[in-house]
Amino acid sequence: MPYEPPTHTVERSLRATTGAKVIAGVDEVGRGAWAGPVTVCAAVTGLRRPPEGLTDSKLIAVKRRTQLAEELRKWVTAYALGHASPEEIDDLGMTAALRLAAVRALEALPVRPDAVILDGKHDYLGTPWRVRTVIKGDQSCVAVAAASVIAKVQRDKMMAELGIDHADFAFAANAGYPSPVHKAALEERGPTPYHRLSWAYLDALPQWRHLKKARSWAEGNVPEIEGQLGFDF
């Protein structure tokens, strides 16, 4: 199914309305996983034409996505990655963990961006960053799409490496998301050191429920965790 290629429309608008010169596209991967970090990429692309086939990483076949990520690393003006660990997700909640990972990525860029294009409708960055949120920005904005592909390929590689000593969980195939193999391994063996222990899936595992961490960040309003899936055996 063909997709409309991403453009520099939002970036051009930011340049015209705010005077921003360095604009970073930011996207995350791993928000809905049960194991592993949440990973954020910040990419600066300028206004050059991107490599062929660039779009949301989830819409690209694995082999092509891996090839495209390598092309993008050479093509972008700059990029950087930031991660928040499972422990940080448990301690802070997903919203704060996303911000932590995004700030780490943005601050690792060689030049501080004047503005940020953030995928989605929620600004989890906030001040002092100048943010433009764009729903489905990973499909419509070149810099965000580039960040999406680089982040996805990097995190998938990390999860495959983490899964070497936990073969039953098939992290190389599911990247820490709740596949049937992952669920079966959890039920039999319990969580690995890479699992998020404050998440609801442990409620359905009586033999491992004692490992669940209390949400210390849940005071009053619980931060929204988009994409957190239930455990339905």
User: How many other CB atoms are found less than 10 A from the CB of residue 225?
Assistant: 18
- Residue 173: name the closest of 156, 190, 196, 197 by CA: 156
Encoded tokens for 226: 């988009």
27 assigned binding-site residue: yes
219 assigned binding-site residue: no
**Residue 128: cis peptide before it, omega within 30 degrees of 0:** yes
Whole-number Å distance between alpha carbons of 156 and 71 = 17
Mapped onto helix, strand or coil, the DSSP state of residue 27 is: strand
> Phi-psi region for residue 187, left (φ > 0), alpha (ψ -120 to 50) or beta?
alpha
One-letter amino acid at 165 equals D
Place of tokens 């943010």: 131
156 assigned binding-site residue: no
How far is C-alpha 54 from the chain's CA centre?
17
- Give me the sign of the Cα torsion angle 85, 199, 175, 102: negative
Residue 90: in which H helix or E strand, if any? helix 86-92
Binding-site entries for a divalent metal cation: 27-28, 119
Binding-site entries: 27-28, 119
